[in-house]
Amino acid sequence: MSDWTWDWNPSEGFLTEGLPPGVIAEVERLATELAALGPDSERVGRPFNREGGLREFDFLAGRGFISFLPIPRHECVYICHITWTD
């Protein structure tokens, strides 16, 4: 188990405005799972050919994706963008 956490960047209100509650809950669940991976979260999602930097991960059968930034020195995964298609 990792001591990493996750957070919204820029803010929860900005990123989740207008999203259905179920989508927000799924993003929060995924963020918790990414934080549990700790430093391995730098290898999850796209791009596949390198570690670190801004990453993307599909969710809910490809109906949306999140962009996230794992920062090892903060021990935190930051959710930076949510794309959702109705």
CA nearest to 81, candidates 59, 51, 49: 59
- Residue 1 is predicted with a pLDDT of 61
Domain count along the chain: 1
Sign of CA dihedral 68, 37, 53, 86: negative
- Residue 69 is predicted with a pLDDT of 96
Domain membership of residue 52 as a residue range: 5-84
Identify the CATH number of the domain in which residue 25 sits.
3.30.2310.20
Tens digit of pLDDT for each residue in 29-72?
A: 999 999 999 999 999 888 888 888 899 989 998 899 999 999 99
Tokens of 4: 């990493």
**DSSP per residue, 32-74:** HHHHHHGGGGGGSSB-TTS-SSSEEEEETTTTEEEEEEEETTT
Tens digit of pLDDT for each residue in 12-32?
A: 999 999 999 999 999 999 999
- Rounded to two decimals, what is the model's pTM? 0.90
